[in-house]
């Protein structure tokens, strides 16, 4: 009796394998089967316009990435007082300069929540357009509006409305 059940189970398993119940061998053309994602198919990455792809330098805008449908973007901005510790050209985009700064103060921008007060005293990199960075030097104290752009794959701080304090 035990042998009959063993043979019956073997026959059933063999039939399942022979009839193609293995999903890994199915050809997938649209990236999904029966409405469920197929983990064996890698779909192209899509990020929002101006936001970096995961393999780009943090915070540098990457043209050509369409916005994902339904992805909420929370606008943010804060007025920042900072001391410039270093200015370097961006490696990925010649239209930007990376300003490595120490945050001295945070202020409100109307309509936005300010950044975390614990940011004061920390060093961060802020991307400035080459036009905004013109005339700035290491050691200058500046005031600027800073916004964070990015997502879970990365991002960066962008500065606008730069004014020289000293």
Q: Measuring CA to CA, how many Å separate 86 from each of 15, 78, 101, 128?
A: 69, 21, 7, 12
Please write the tens of the pLDDT for every residue from 33-53. 555 555 555 444 444 444 444
Position 71 pLDDT exceeds 70: no
* Token representation of residue 161: 């409305």
* Cα(68)–Cα(47) distance, integer angstroms: 6
Q: Domain locations in the chain? A: 2-37, 78-164
Please write the tens of the pLDDT for every residue from 85-113. 999 999 988 999 999 999 999 988 888 87
Higher pLDDT pick, 55 / 165: 165
Backbone dihedral angles phi then psi of residue 22, each to the nearest 5 degrees: -85, 120
Mean pLDDT of 49-72: 49
Higher pLDDT pick, 121 / 66: 121
Name the class of domain 78-164.
Answer: mainly beta
Q: Is the dihedral of CA 100, 104, 110, 115 positive or negative?
A: positive
Backbone dihedral angles phi then psi of residue 126, each to the nearest 5 degrees: -125, 130
Q: Which helix (H) or strand (E) holds 117?
A: none
Is the Cβ–Cβ distance between 120 and 81 less than 8 Å? no
Name, in order, each residue with C-beta under 8 angstroms of 82's C-beta and a sequence gap of 6 or more. Answer: 99, 101, 102, 103, 104, 126, 141, 142, 143, 144
Higher pLDDT pick, 11 / 24: 11
- pTM confidence score: 0.56
């Amino acid at each position: 009796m035990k042998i009959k059940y063993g043979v019956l189970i073997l026959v059933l398993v063999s039939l399942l394998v022979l009839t193609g119940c293995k999903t890994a061998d199915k050809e997938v053309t649209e990236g999904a089967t029966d409405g469920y994602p197929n983990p064996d198919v890698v779909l192209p990455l899509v990020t929002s316009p101006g936001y970096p792809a995961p393999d780009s330098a943090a915070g540098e805008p990457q043209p050509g990435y369409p916005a994902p449908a339904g992805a909420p973007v929370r606008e943010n901005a804060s007025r920042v007082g900072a001391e410039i510790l270093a200015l370097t050209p961006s490696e990925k985009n010649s239209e930007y300069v990376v300003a490595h700064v120490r945050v001295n103060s945070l202020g409100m921008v109307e309509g936005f929540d300010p950044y975390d007060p614990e940011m004061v005293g920390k060093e961060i990199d802020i991307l400035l357009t080459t036009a905004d960075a013109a005339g700035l030097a290491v050691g200058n104290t500046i005031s600027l509006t800073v916004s964070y752009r990015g997502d879970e794959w990365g991002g960066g701080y962008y500065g606008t409305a730069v004014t020289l304090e000293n």
